Amino acid sequence: MTHEYIDLQTVAHVQGAVRLPGSKSISNRILLLSALSQGDVDIVDLLASDDTAVMLAALRSLGVQWTEEKTATGTIHHVKGVAGVLPNKSADLFMGNAGTAIRPLTAALAVIGGDYTLHGVPRMHERPIGDLVDALNAAGTNVEYTGNPGFPPLHIKQGKIHAQRLSVRGDVSSQFLTALLMVAPLMARDHAISIDVIGELISKPYIEITLNLIRRFGVTVEQNGWESFTIQPGQVYQSPGTIHVEGDASSASYFLAAGAIAGGPVRVEGVGKDSIQGDVRFAAALERMGVQITMGDNWIEAKSNGVLKAIDADFNHIPDAAMTIAIAALYADGTSTLRNIASWRVKETDRIAAMATELRKVGAIVEEGPDYIKVTPPAVITPATIDTYDDHRMAMCFSLVSLDGAARKGNVMRINDPKCVGKTFPEYFAAFAAIAK
């Protein structure tokens, strides 16, 4: 898609099934764990997107060998594990705007040591990484800022790990704790390593994904609630042989919300009731809004029961999928409040500000606070041109505003820069069109 915008015709009803692309969070975690492990790993259904391309390119620059095999049903990536010893001791790595790539990779390179530079697009240089770097440097690594302190770009040199306890703030980004957990076995060569979480830990379901995958690569993590985590010495990541990437539960939210808003049933395939992703809890939020949800082992389906009920809820556990609730609120019977979403402000863009601005364009009354947003639906949704802020989730969310009753047929919603969906779901608009016939 090379257009600078896409026009979406108003649609009164949606129905169908969508096969989800692989989860971005799972894909980039599995790639790094595979690279660090002993033995070769076959990764089935890795997400093909900007963020995974960044991680694959970085691993290649570091001397990790991988090949991609296309099969009749999808793809298999064959990764040769380096058992925690990177072939290339120096590299200049471009990380785009991929938080799921730069944060764990920074931790891994800092602990392994070498001469590495990491940088990205301008927005990446505005996304905080200071809490992670502080925790690493306090343990003996040698990471320097080459721009603004607390933010990429970074220069990593050889350090010497001496600490047995690390501490990291839990209330800025769960990716900092994820990064430390993933590299803790590399640090726990001779003695146990404990990681303490300072303050409230946000986005706990993403830590659950991390812990699940670390265990699948053969490392045991001892957990004291959400306050601290301990890794005993002498553990090494081992190849699980073949590992499958689940469908992306955050991406599922758009199609489930479409079914909720415009009839359905809409079924997403690739994620279900046994998912390791917390974002499947999005379905429970839709149920609270009056939507009929059914689930199988590998699918979820949403069907409308009429006008949605307004919701007032804490969305700290599913911040990415919660953006879709802010759009569903346009179709509710009153004011909806999404609470405890401060992490929106340090994502691909300031998502609270961006969401408020664009919701107002379509006629909503919006109140934004430091960590909440209140959305009062308009009597009539106004056609508008939506800006997306180089944020894939803004583009996908606002596609849903084209779902509307027959009374306003012929209206057009324009989405600027639709190609930003390439970060996680390059084929999104084709998949959306397939259910919006």
> Using one digit for the tens of pLDDT, what is the confidence trace for 325-364?
999 999 999 999 999 999 999 888 999 999 999 999 999 9
Give per-residue pLDDT as tens, 213-259.
999 999 999 999 999 999 999 999 999 999 999 999 999 999 999 99
The parent domain of residue 304 ranges over 5-21+247-435
Q: Residue 408 pLDDT > 60, yes or no?
A: no
Give pLDDT, residue 406: 39
86 lies in the same domain as 171: yes
Read off the pLDDT of residues 138-156 as tens digits, 9 standing for 90 and up: 999 999 999 999 999 999 9
94 and 212 in a common domain: yes
Same domain, 350 and 421: yes
Helix axes of 249-261 and 319-328: crossing angle, nearest 10 degrees:
10
Q: 10 with 28, same domain?
A: no
**Predicted local distance difference test score (pLDDT) of residue 411:** 78
- For residues 253 and 169, membership in a common domain is answered with no
Same domain, 71 and 192: yes
Last residue of a domain, one of 215, 244, 273: 244
**Same domain (yes/no): 270, 371:** yes
What is the rounded average pLDDT of the residues 41-51? 96
Q: 360 with 295, same domain?
A: yes
Asked if residue 200 and residue 324 are part of one domain, the reply reads no
Q: Say what the pLDDT of residue 234 is.
A: 94
What residues act catalytically?
320
203 annotated among ligand-binding-site residues: yes
Co-location of 297 and 154 in the same domain = no
CATH number, position 265? 3.65.10.10
Q: Write down the pLDDT at residue 121.
A: 96
User: 361: annotated binding-site residue?
Assistant: no
pLDDT of residue 348: 86
Q: What is this structure's pTM?
A: 0.89
Say how many domains are in the chain: 2
Count the neighbouring beta carbons within 10 Å of the beta carbon of residue 370.
Answer: 8
From 210, 244, 278, the end of a domain falls on 244
Local confidence band at 412 (pLDDT 50, 70, 90 cut-offs): confident
Q: DSSP letter string over 158-209?
A: ------SEEEEESSS-HHHHHHHHHHHHHH-SSS-EEEEEESPPP-HHHHHH
The whole-number pLDDT of residue 344 equals 93
Together in a domain, 152 and 298? no
Q: State the first-to-last Cα distance of the chain, in angstroms, to the nearest integer.
A: 20
Please indicate if the annotation marks 277 as binding a ligand: no
- Domain termination residue (choose one: 244, 279, 310): 244
Q: What is the model's pLDDT at position 140?
A: 97
Place 31 in a pLDDT band, splitting at 50, 70 and 90. very high
Residue 122: per-residue pLDDT: 96
Q: In which residue are the tokens 């590992």 written?
A: 243
Q: Please, is 282 exposed, middle or buried when counting C-beta atoms within 10 Å of its C-beta (0-12, 13-18, 19+)?
A: buried
**pLDDT-derived band of residue 81, with 50, 70 and 90 as boundaries?**
very high
Q: Is 24 annotated as a binding residue?
A: yes
Do residues 89 and 155 share a domain? yes
